[in-house]
Chains A and B, each alone.
Chain A
Amino acid sequence: MEQTSALGSFVRRNRGLVVVVLLLIALLIFGSFYSDRFRTTSNILNVFEQSTGLALVSLGQTLTILTGGIDMSVGSMISLLSLLTSGLIDGKANLVVPVAAGILVLGALIGAINGLGIVWLKVHPLIVTLGMGALLQGIALLYSLGPAGKVPPNFKFLAYGKVLGLPIAAVFAILLFIAVALFLRYVRLGRYIYAVGDDHTGARLMGLPRSRVIIFVYTMSGICCALTSIYLVSRFGVGQPYTGINYTLASITPVVVGGTLLAGGRGGVIGTLLGAYLISLINNVLNFMDVSTHYQLIAQGLIVIAAVSIYVDKRKRI
């Protein structure tokens, strides 16, 4: 295989990414032929903007999955944190910054507790984070059974504001993804994440700080949930105790579609970002085709099946 071109080897190494990009292009072409309104810049920007919430939560999920774990508490965490965001700000403009900062810290803290629980109790991440998810959902419902609080009007700028014609939240998400991609590639801790996911025993034998890596990725997932929560409150104007309920499972789809193996050790965040765009774009195209949201669910499930069948995973754990 020495003679294969650089492009050929790139394609082989990143088969998943190539498939996702091709699908994105195919959908864009199909949509453009299907509807004039699809082709408009405002619609494309709309798709871009709508992917932000899913992209942000999936970013943290990618990191936990890269270590061979999973974070099943993200949905409840987003529900609780978005509820607290609007509940604590409660329309007071001067509280926006301190509350937002507090929410980020709280997200990091909850994530760190997830990580500590996994390391100390030696219990499967699925179980620890499921437990945490139930705990957080209960707390969210204790705090409020319905939408709580409100945010000042200019808070909506985070979700709807534009800089140079581009939605700022979506641009922020891209920058964050690029930063994490560089981190994974060039920072030692980032490379450790792959090592831990590749082989738990091997990583420990080599003296890798497995515990530290695991606490780190769940903390990052918590921070990503906090960012998602702030974005969602900005978008909807209020937090609800069930805002995040669908995100737990939804956050896994872009990760898997983007080529990260559920067993850990392989994949990356750029695939996840493209995966989030793909899902957002598919839903948009189906909307234009007047396909009801019910069938959009079927499409999403079939995408997962197709994706996992493409990336055959020989080292499955859960």
Chain B
Amino acid sequence: MSDAVHLQGTEDESNSSKLKTIASRFGIHIFLVALIVMSGIISPAFLSANNISNMLLQAAPLGIVVIGQAFVIILRGLDLSVASVMATAAVIATGLSGVNADVPAIVGVSLAIGAATGLVNGLLVTKRDVSPFLATLATMIVLQGFRFAYTQGAPSGNVPPLFRVIGSETLYGIPYNLMLLAVIAVIFTVVLSRSRFGREVYITGGNPVTARLLGINADRVTIIGYVISGVLASIAGLVLSGYVGIVDNWVGRGFELDSIVAAVMGGIALTGGRGTIIGGLVGAAILIVVFNAVLLFGMPVQLQIIIKGLVIVMAAAFYVRRSN
């Protein structure tokens, strides 16, 4: 992350290339601001308090997943199992009697499943040398199978009221789930950019051989990365279940790809070793704004998907140019 940027900055540069550096470093932030301003001009309703509050509510589940995905991608991996973990957590959230007294049990079981999934992913990737794509694909399918077997295909029940509050209510216009996202983001940003473990994550992702030479236990770091992703995905699933209020087997469907897309748009390179949590969150914000704007402008909902496809490829191409 900042290391790479600083290295670029140490060379003597003319003003124009400095401008380029600024554009490439903050390009995605500028893009987000431009997107918001443009959407506001096209449709004033976009900037209404109501709509902003609405977007922020939707941002939290995706943001939480992106933070976990960031760890895994910086470690040269990717986690396709997050959506399955989210749906499983949501099914568990409604699996009991739907009262607040169940909350500790629900949270405990969900986080345990998320952590266990991450552990299996990490072990497959490190100890068995399975490619992250396949390892997380396999755990995704297995978890999906268990979920369907458990619910017999038709989950039902209610989310405890506390989850409803966290997932869908606001305090002075600020959603509770956004506060949760902020807390998680701050904690993991500190972990990633200030702690020894964070440094080990960047070094391991940048070059596993170097990591080993430096005495870093690359396997352990990688496994912890996947566990973080699994745990955050289960938290996101609980938050999302509180947002939608009802449950089906596919809560969170599409989040695996959306979270990867958001991370890549936010400058977290699939080749590993680079990117920040803030970048990933900016990427997530762009996705949320695009989705919201498409709907608000009265365009067909299908355009959301088409625009998403175009944005993915353009953003990735932008970063490839930058790194060349």
Contacts and interface: CB of A to CB of B under 8 A. Distances in A.
Interface string A231-256: 00000000000000000010010001
Contacts of A293: 148
B137 A252 contact: yes
A289 to B, nearest CB: 14
A292 B131 contact: no
Given A123-B317, A301-B138, A141 B312 contact: no
A188 interface: no
Given A252-B137, A262-B133, A313-B130, A131 B309 contact: yes
A158 interface: no
A263 B139 CA distance: 19
A300 B152 contact: no
A268 to B, nearest CB: 18
A133 B309 contact: yes
Given A123-B316, A308-B138, A298 B131 contact: no
Interface size grouping (class) on chain A: 35 or more
Contacts of B320: 121-123
Nearest to B269: A124
A46 interface: no
A175 interface: no
B310 interface: yes
Interface in A190-225: none
A309 B130 contact: yes
A78 to B, nearest CB: 16
A218 to B, nearest CB: 14
Among B124, B132, B135, B137, chain A packs the most CB atoms within 10 A around the CB of B137
A135 B309 CA distance: 5
Contacts of B146: 298
A8 B313 CA distance: 47
Interface in B241-262: 257, 260-261
Given A141-B302, A305-B138, A294 B152 contact: yes
Nearest to B319: A123
Contact of B131 (A294, A297, A299, A317): A317
A262 B303 contact: no
A134 B306 CA distance: 6
Chain B binding site: helix, strand, loop or mixed by DSSP? helix
A17 B260 CA distance: 34
B128 A294 contact: no
A299 B142 CA distance: 7
B131 A134 contact: no
B145 A297 contact: yes
A121 B316 contact: yes
Nearest to A304: B138
B134 A262 contact: yes
B118 to A, nearest CB: 15
A296 to B, nearest CB: 7
Contacts of A312: 128-129
Nearest to B124: A305
Nearest to A249: B137
A25 interface: no
Given A123-B320, A295-B149, A317-B131, A134 B264 contact: no
Nearest to B304: A138
Contacts of B161: none
Interface in B206-259: 257
A318 B78 contact: yes
A129 B274 CA distance: 23
B131 A318 contact: yes
Contact of A308 (B130, B153, B324): B130
B128 A309 contact: yes
Contacts of B104: none
Contact of B142 (A249, A301, A313, A314): A301
B130 to A, nearest CB: 4
A134 B148 contact: no
Contacts of A308: 124, 128, 130-131, 134-135, 138
Nearest to B315: A127
A265 B308 CA distance: 32
B98 to A, nearest CB: 24
A63 interface: no
Contacts of B308: 134, 138
A136 B304 CA distance: 12
B305 A294 contact: no
Contacts of B129: 312-314, 316
Contacts of A137: 305, 309
Interface string B114-152: 000000000010001111111101111111111011001
Contact of A301 (B139, B301, B303, B307): B139
B270 interface: yes
A292 B135 CA distance: 24
A305 B124 CA distance: 8
25 contacts: A117-B313, A124-B316, A127-B264, A128-B313, A130-B257, A130-B309, A131-B310, A134-B309, A137-B305, A138-B306, A141-B301, A141-B305, A252-B134, A252-B137, A263-B131, A292-B149, A294-B153, A297-B141, A300-B141, A301-B142, A305-B135, A308-B128, A308-B131, A318-B132, A318-B270
Top 5 closest pairs, chain A to chain B, by CB: A134-B309, A298-B145, A297-B145, A301-B141, A138-B306
